[in-house]
Amino acid sequence: FDSYAVGTYPPPPWWNMFSGVSAAVSAEQALNAPNSLRIESLSNWARWDCVTINLPQAYFVAQANVYITDPARGACIGFGFVDPNAANVGRHANAVMFANDGMAYWVTQTAGSMPLLPWTAGEWWNVMAELNYMTGQAAVYIGVGAPTAFPGLPLDPKVLPASYYGVEVPLNNWGA
């Protein structure tokens, strides 16, 4: 985010799904460079900032560094979509959620949530997810410093079938 002016929202392909509080390029906290994208939300209302992607046929790897300032607000990194049966309700699929209970979870729509490890605010968390659509499994690597590996996690398909939400839901909005 170093090529964008502090205080501005990054240009496309970035876009906002739910407004939450605010999001802007910030120089307050950054891991390896002067700037990062600071996303703020309320404890009871998320803000989703996304990049729409075209998933490859077999394999997708995503990586993010996350700094959470308020443990009561948490964060989520992964695919987000709007429930077509309740348009104001967002869902996560194939996502790492830093929940308000102090645990990080792997979240899917088809298999539910699986606890990964406890997390604390005020540290940079490295998160990497390898999504293998050939095997139907994910591997998540998460940690401060050396990450912990969580292989063999269940993986939602690239398009959730109509049996879940009444319509097919493509998982193509990756964000935080």
More confident residue, 110 or 75: 110
Decide if pLDDT at 141 tops 80. Answer: yes
Quote the pLDDT of residue 85.
Answer: 63
Decide if pLDDT at 176 tops 60. Answer: no
Quote the pLDDT of residue 25.
Answer: 84
Question: With contact defined as beta carbons under 8 Å apart, do 127 and 135 qualify?
Answer: no
pLDDT band at 113 (very low <50, low <70, confident <90, very high): very high
Length of the chain: 176
Quote the pLDDT of residue 128.
Answer: 93
Name the token pair of 25: 């390029």
Q: What is the 3-state secondary structure (H, E, C) of the chain?
A: CCCCCCCCCCCCCEEEEEECCEEEEECCCCCCCCCEEEEECECCECEEEEEECCCCCCEEEEEEEEECCCCCCCEEEEEEEECCCCCCCEEEEEEEEECCCCEEEEECCCCCEEEEEECCCCCEEEEEEEEECCCCEEEEEEECCCCEEEEEEECCCCEECHHHHCCCEECCEEEC
Give residue for tokens 């912990």.
Answer: 148
Q: What would the pLDDT profile of 60-85 be if each residue is shown by its tens digit?
A: 898 888 888 888 777 777 776 666 56
Decide if pLDDT at 97 tops 70. Answer: yes
Quote the pLDDT of residue 19.
Answer: 64
Question: With contact defined as beta carbons under 8 Å apart, do 117 and 141 qualify?
Answer: no
Per DSSP, the three-state class of 163 is: helix
Q: Which H helix or E strand runs over 62? A: strand 59-67
Quote the pLDDT of residue 138.
Answer: 94
Decide if pLDDT at 87 tops 80. Answer: no
Q: CA 110, CA 112: separation in Å to the nearest integer? A: 6
